[in-house]
A and B are shown apart, each in its own frame.
Chain A
Amino acid sequence: MPSTQKPMRYGHTEGHTDVCFDDTGSCIVTCGSDGDVRIWENLDDDDPKSINVGEKAYSFALKNGRLVTAVSNNTVQIHTFPEGAPDGILTRFTTNANHVVFNRDGTKIAAGSSDFMVKVVEVTDSSQQKTFRGHDAPVLSLSFDPQDVFLTSASCDGSVRVWKISDQTCVTSWPLLQKCNDVINAKSICRLAWQPKSGKFLIFFIDTLSIVIWSPCGQYVAAGSVDGCIAVWNVDTQECMERMKHEKSYTICGLAWHPKGGQIAYTDTEGNLGLLENVCNKDGKKSSGKVSSAVAKDYNDLFDEDDDFLNTDLIEPRSSPKVVSNEEEEEDDDLMLASGHPRHRGAIIEDDENSLDTALMKVNSNLEKDDDNDQDGSIPVLPISTTQRPFYDGPVPTPQQKPFQSGSTPSHLTHRFMVWNSIGIIRCYNDEQDNAIDVEFHDTSIHHATHLPNSLNHTMADLSSEAILLACESTEELASKLHCVHFSSWDSNKEWTVDMPKDEDIEAVCLGQGWAACATSAMLTRVFTIGGVQKEIFSFPGPVVSMAGHGEQLLVVYHRGTGFDGDQCLGVQLIELGKKKRQVLHGDPLPLTRKSYLMWVGFSAEGTPCYVDSKGIVKMLNRGLGNTWIPVCDTREYCKGKSDHYWVIGIHENPQQLRCIPCKGARFPPTLPRPAVAILSFKLPYCQITTEKGQMEEQFWRSVLFHNHLDYLSKNGYEYDENAKNEAAKEQQELLMKLFALSCKLEREFRCVELADFMTQNAVNLAIKYASRSRKLILAQRLSEMAVEKATEMAAPEEDDEEEEEDFRNHLNAGYSSSTTEWSQPRVRNLYEQDMEDSKEADAVEEVEEMPEMQKFSKKLLGQVGKFTPIFVSANQKDSTAHSANILDNMSKFSKNTPTPNSRAVNKQKSPVIKPLIPKPKSKQALAATFFQPRPPPAVDKTVEEKEEKAENTLPEIQAAATENKRPKTGFQMWLEENRESILADNPDLEEADIIKEGMSRFRVLSSDERMIWTEKAKGGAASNSAEAKKRKRPADAKNEGKEKREEKSKEDSSLPKKRKPLDPSINVRLSAFAFKQS
């Protein structure tokens, strides 16, 4: 029959304790670090008699109505028992004594002290003292042999000594223990025990087993270990009779056998007292009679043989020579020694214990032990094992981490943060006089600081700019409650409370905009409106870990399954609770770092899901890459010390800030002194971050990543900062250009092309220019080809648009919602104007991926395409095919157009310079025209339409521009176009206005004849132009307004190349000359 283990009870305050039974066994006596000796009638005695013996009691011994205690004033004193009256001081040390023991008849006591001394004192006459010197470190424990001849002592110096009491000499010394410098550092207190009566064996353990006692009959040995195990063996049969675990795995530091046997009282270092009953009952002893073949093995097996238990190799010196020589009864003096290899316990969770995971740790170690038991059970040598479980040696399952609130500190603390987020701080005080919750807002304009009583013992909280959400677990009487303080409510009822159904506990809560949610132990997520209306309920597939809300988004992290070897196995759901409800992440696995657990989960201020694991890696959802997770920061890199951590409280994408609190030597901050926030920067884990290339790559992708939210916002119809977006695009293009230049320098032309592929058309143009300037003509050629391809790609969808307008719209709605507006609205206006309805209809997931491209695309259209595409038109008209357009043509365009950033300004001043004014869409059209021949020549209907429009006068501005462009060129203008190149070549850094000035002066220098030629040329060109227009006049198709506008613009554009037409040959000549020079 196995022993019964009674639940532990509080005995003393935390700290070292000792226990024994009185002589008759009628009561249990304990002492503890509170300095009391308590006398318990039984384990359920609620009113034990207390004797105060000092500030702290280290050890005590009880015999014959005398209570001897070692207390903190460095004395060993006697009290009467059970009255507790002081009866004098037996002896003193220079520091406290660690252990006192009586000899068998109670006439002497031995005390071992931290001052390295051992004293033996007559109880009745304290002047009769014997001092034993020889230990080099504090003495841990002592034991008299039953015959009173020898005294054994164990010390921190690693030795166990046997002394002959009569002459105070050290008979023998075994250096068996682990050395340490103080009692508190000792691995175990290493109690020793002689077998009662016969004194045949002395037993002690060298590893984690700290205490050993003999049963009064001398047949059994009980031992307690540092990690909370107690085991009992039969010495004769060498069987393990009992094995039990301390319910909380605290270190056993006191163990006492009832004088009549059958009961073992034990205490732990946390001050708890426990009792084992029916230990080694006769009925309990099975005659299994299986004796192990090797004693050593047997003992080895009794305690778990794997990592954290001792690995006892029992040595059994049949006769230890030295002892024998000094003993009278040497024949039967068997010294049984248990020695062991100190083994380090393989930590399962290697992080320090102060953190959130204390709970986790406990579970962890319990599990681990269960596992150990499994292993024992299978060993055939252990017949008494109550359960035979199969042996398992595979990966160990990780205990699942407990649910937590992001930004909270562990709930067992008396002063803790319940939440620290971007809105404010909720602190919880839970000490004797007060149980309250303090809410403080970072921004006092949201709400003033609040103090709430915490009578319900809320443990979870969340805070938003609308409400405070609190939740408590259920107690025996009360159901689990959700309590919301909706302070932004405009009515007078600011609070509401909801009770959960019976047996359903809230495990996590979160607040979004206009809603609150809680996850319960029934694996349900319950959503409420912020005013308290119950809304959606849905199940998620595992125990919740944490949840977070932001705007309409709800993020739930739960256990997907069991992780192994320290890993957690988490899943994540991201749900949008807005008008259009949908699930973005469908329970995808959450990629935690190995052997880590989740520390923080939430959203960036801009609404991107992020999380932090216990290894300090911050990961963020990359919506630009199919909702994958990307590590954005390793907070451990910023830590100075190994045990320093950063406690994350918030993430901001613009500006890029990781807000956290530095914690020295801890995982989380204390509430006082008030911690200060620090800001860390993000760093994507790109390779070779020390090189310039790596740095720029990292910067580029970081910039892309941290502006994904803009696309998301625009897609979902939120307001966002247009400037931020433009700036981001600019920054990215700059970085790309730098990378491009770097690759150019390194002669990595292929890489250059790859880089150019990321660029917008504008940047590609610059890149082409750069390439040609740095005499990489092949590269320039490639790039221009690429640019053409890009333009084609871009033109293709537009052509569709022209031909099947309806379909195109539909298509857009399906896939390119954000760009819908671009296509369907007047070009002149802001391309990015939101068309909310359209975008809402759109399938957003796809959009996320499509949008950036589209937007870049359109931007490019806006600004730059026009600048170079006309060349193709002209080339086309000149009958060369668009694709074969010479790279030099491109270049010439460039040198003409791109280096004049202020061209627009110049245009406003009505300067004669001819430039595509608002080049964006028409360029597309022109392009389209070149590539899709079936269309009528663009110029034709354009001029026509343009005239119509003039009549309508719908867009005066554009018209003005158009007319300006349409005005016949003067001779000077033509000349200037021709000669701009050379002017620029001479003065490369001239501004547009300066170029014109310079041109003027040069033109004047020309001879009058030459000037005449140019004027004539100009007249001729203009004439033919207008003639053409007349000829081609024909009824315009009925087209919608938007299209007309586009056409109009393209007309301007197409008219340009026409005017240039006569110049083309000479340009080409010059360009080829330039090319020659270059090569």
Chain B
Amino acid sequence: MDPAEAEFLAEKELVTVIPNFSLDRIYLIGGDLGPFNPGLPVEVPLWLAVNLKQRQKCRLIPPEWMDAEKLEEIRDQERKEDTFTPMPSPYYMELTKLLLNYASDSIPKADEIRTLVKDTWDTRIAKLRLSADSFVRQQEAHAKLDNLTLMEINTTGTFLTQALDHMYKLRTNLQPAESAQSQDF
């Protein structure tokens, strides 16, 4: 899975928008959306929200957690703890990125929020790297990481597994060489 796929999944998250048009309920495979009443908040998937926003058809109401103060708290908590803290949304990074890219005008303190989320992200990725490092070093067979989001897993997942594969190969290659030798004997 690559980040684009994770983002695709994140686009199913519901966000609240205030449409400026009127439309009856629309029936989609994924579920019914609407009805859209101008001026009335309605929950729609992120993909639709972004699309509407790009066409200037709605105003976005940021998710409750997308608030500088709350994010600051989350960041501090994340920095304080050694383990991963639960995130306000399993797609916090994707949501932040998409919303801030397309609807920064309807989010107060957009820049601050961007920085805060990035800080949190960096902290978490650093933790992840650290734990991967110790995992490899100690040659553990398995490890458990709680509260990781999909995107975070994605960033290291492929690399880590491939790396482990390679290491495994290298190690097993060492042994076969020995055994080959022994066979030679």
Query: Contact residues of A with B, CB < 8 Å?
Result: 422, 424, 441-445, 659, 673-674, 676-679
User: Whole-angstrom distance from the CB of B54 to the nearest CB of chain A?
Assistant: 15
* Inter-chain contact B41/A442, CB cutoff 8 Å: no
B20 within 8 A of partner (CB): yes
* Inter-chain contact A442/B39, CB cutoff 8 Å: yes
Q: Which of B17-32 contact A (CB under 8 A)?
A: 18, 20-22
Among A441, A659, A674, the residue within 8 A (CB) of B20 is A441
25 pairs, A vs B, C-beta closer than 8 Å: A422-B39, A424-B39, A441-B20, A441-B38, A442-B18, A442-B20, A442-B37, A442-B40, A443-B21, A443-B22, A444-B20, A444-B21, A444-B38, A444-B56, A444-B57, A445-B21, A659-B40, A676-B16, A676-B18, A676-B41, A676-B61, A677-B39, A677-B40, A677-B41, A678-B41
B108 within 8 A of partner (CB): yes
Query: Contact residues of B with A, CB < 8 Å?
Result: 16, 18, 20-22, 37-41, 56-57, 59, 61, 106, 108
State the CA gap A659–B39 with chains docked (Å): 10
The 5 A-B pairs at the shortest CB distance, nearest first, are namely: A442-B39, A442-B38, A443-B38, A444-B20, A673-B108
User: Whole-angstrom distance from the CB of B68 to the nearest CB of chain A?
Assistant: 12
State the CA gap A677–B18 with chains docked (Å): 9
Residues of A within 8 A of B56 (CB): 444
User: Whole-angstrom distance from the CB of B88 to the nearest CB of chain A?
Assistant: 18
State the CA gap A983–B21 with chains docked (Å): 57
Residues of B within 8 A of A678 (CB): 41
* Inter-chain contact B41/A443, CB cutoff 8 Å: no
State the CA gap A674–B39 with chains docked (Å): 12
State the CA gap A659–B20 with chains docked (Å): 16
Residues of A within 8 A of B21 (CB): 443-445
Nearest to A422 among chain B residues (CB) is B39
User: Whole-angstrom distance from the CB of B184 to the nearest CB of chain A?
Assistant: 77
User: Whole-angstrom distance from the CB of B165 to the nearest CB of chain A?
Assistant: 50
User: Whole-angstrom distance from the CB of A384 to the nearest CB of chain B?
Assistant: 60
Residues of B within 8 A of A442 (CB): 18, 20, 37-40
Residues of B within 8 A of A676 (CB): 16, 18, 41, 61
Residues of B within 8 A of A443 (CB): 20-22, 38-39
User: Whole-angstrom distance from the CB of A678 to the nearest CB of chain B?
Assistant: 8
Residues of B within 8 A of A677 (CB): 18, 39-41
State the CA gap A678–B106 with chains docked (Å): 18
Residues of A within 8 A of B37 (CB): 442
Residues of A within 8 A of B16 (CB): 676
- A422, A443, A673: residue with the most chain B Cβ atoms closer than 10 Å: A443
User: Whole-angstrom distance from the CB of B9 to the nearest CB of chain A?
Assistant: 27
- Sample of 20 further A-B pairs with CB below 8 A, known A442-B18, A443-B22: A424-B39, A441-B38, A442-B37, A442-B38, A442-B40, A443-B20, A443-B21, A443-B39, A444-B21, A444-B56, A444-B57, A445-B21, A659-B40, A673-B108, A674-B106, A676-B18, A676-B61, A677-B39, A677-B40, A679-B40
State the CA gap A677–B39 with chains docked (Å): 8
User: Whole-angstrom distance from the CB of B25 to the nearest CB of chain A?
Assistant: 11
Residues of A within 8 A of B108 (CB): 673
Residues of B within 8 A of A445 (CB): 21-22
State the CA gap A678–B18 with chains docked (Å): 11
State the CA gap A676–B41 with chains docked (Å): 8
Nearest to B56 among chain A residues (CB) is A444
State the CA gap A659–B40 with chains docked (Å): 8
State the CA gap A442–B20 with chains docked (Å): 5
Nearest to B61 among chain A residues (CB) is A676
Nearest to A425 among chain B residues (CB) is B39
State the CA gap A1074–B29 with chains docked (Å): 52
Residues of A within 8 A of B38 (CB): 441-444
User: Whole-angstrom distance from the CB of B152 to the nearest CB of chain A?
Assistant: 31
User: Whole-angstrom distance from the CB of B118 to the nearest CB of chain A?
Assistant: 23
Residues of A within 8 A of B61 (CB): 676
Nearest to B16 among chain A residues (CB) is A676
Residues of B within 8 A of A679 (CB): 40
- A424, A442, A674: residue with the most chain B Cβ atoms closer than 10 Å: A442
User: Whole-angstrom distance from the CB of B24 to the nearest CB of chain A?
Assistant: 12
Nearest to A605 among chain B residues (CB) is B37
Residues of A within 8 A of B20 (CB): 441-444
User: Whole-angstrom distance from the CB of B147 to the nearest CB of chain A?
Assistant: 29
User: Whole-angstrom distance from the CB of B17 to the nearest CB of chain A?
Assistant: 11
State the CA gap A424–B38 with chains docked (Å): 9
User: Whole-angstrom distance from the CB of B39 to the nearest CB of chain A?
Assistant: 3
User: Whole-angstrom distance from the CB of A463 to the nearest CB of chain B?
Assistant: 12
Nearest to B22 among chain A residues (CB) is A443
Nearest to A650 among chain B residues (CB) is B39
State the CA gap A441–B57 with chains docked (Å): 12
Nearest to B107 among chain A residues (CB) is A673
State the CA gap A673–B21 with chains docked (Å): 22
State the CA gap A443–B40 with chains docked (Å): 10
Residues of B within 8 A of A444 (CB): 20-21, 38, 56-57
Nearest to B36 among chain A residues (CB) is A443
Residues of A within 8 A of B40 (CB): 442, 659, 677, 679
Residues of B within 8 A of A659 (CB): 40
User: Whole-angstrom distance from the CB of B32 to the nearest CB of chain A?
Assistant: 15
State the CA gap A679–B18 with chains docked (Å): 13
Residues of A within 8 A of B106 (CB): 674
User: Whole-angstrom distance from the CB of A450 to the nearest CB of chain B?
Assistant: 14
User: Whole-angstrom distance from the CB of A173 to the nearest CB of chain B?
Assistant: 47
State the CA gap A689–B16 with chains docked (Å): 32
State the CA gap A361–B18 with chains docked (Å): 36
State the CA gap A442–B108 with chains docked (Å): 20
User: Whole-angstrom distance from the CB of B111 to the nearest CB of chain A?
Assistant: 16
User: Whole-angstrom distance from the CB of B99 to the nearest CB of chain A?
Assistant: 15
Nearest to A678 among chain B residues (CB) is B41
State the CA gap A441–B18 with chains docked (Å): 12
User: Whole-angstrom distance from the CB of B103 to the nearest CB of chain A?
Assistant: 13
State the CA gap A424–B61 with chains docked (Å): 17
State the CA gap A676–B39 with chains docked (Å): 9
State the CA gap A674–B16 with chains docked (Å): 14
State the CA gap A678–B22 with chains docked (Å): 18
Nearest to A421 among chain B residues (CB) is B39
State the CA gap A678–B16 with chains docked (Å): 12
User: Whole-angstrom distance from the CB of A419 to the nearest CB of chain B?
Assistant: 13
Nearest to B37 among chain A residues (CB) is A442
State the CA gap A676–B21 with chains docked (Å): 17
User: Whole-angstrom distance from the CB of B113 to the nearest CB of chain A?
Assistant: 14
Nearest to A676 among chain B residues (CB) is B61
State the CA gap A676–B60 with chains docked (Å): 10
Residues of B within 8 A of A422 (CB): 39
Residues of A within 8 A of B22 (CB): 443, 445
State the CA gap A548–B35 with chains docked (Å): 27
State the CA gap A679–B41 with chains docked (Å): 9
State the CA gap A784–B56 with chains docked (Å): 62
Residues of A within 8 A of B18 (CB): 442, 676-677
Residues of A within 8 A of B39 (CB): 422, 424, 442-443, 677
State the CA gap A678–B42 with chains docked (Å): 10
User: Whole-angstrom distance from the CB of A290 to the nearest CB of chain B?
Assistant: 66
State the CA gap A424–B37 with chains docked (Å): 12
State the CA gap A424–B59 with chains docked (Å): 14
State the CA gap A568–B130 with chains docked (Å): 70
User: Whole-angstrom distance from the CB of A102 to the nearest CB of chain B?
Assistant: 49
User: Whole-angstrom distance from the CB of A1003 to the nearest CB of chain B?
Assistant: 47
- B37, B39, B40: residue with the most chain A Cβ atoms closer than 10 Å: B39
Residues of B within 8 A of A424 (CB): 39
State the CA gap A636–B171 with chains docked (Å): 71
State the CA gap A445–B57 with chains docked (Å): 10
State the CA gap A142–B130 with chains docked (Å): 66
State the CA gap A679–B43 with chains docked (Å): 13
User: Whole-angstrom distance from the CB of B14 to the nearest CB of chain A?
Assistant: 15
State the CA gap A842–B93 with chains docked (Å): 65
Nearest to A420 among chain B residues (CB) is B39
Nearest to B106 among chain A residues (CB) is A674
State the CA gap A445–B22 with chains docked (Å): 9
State the CA gap A445–B36 with chains docked (Å): 13
State the CA gap A678–B61 with chains docked (Å): 12
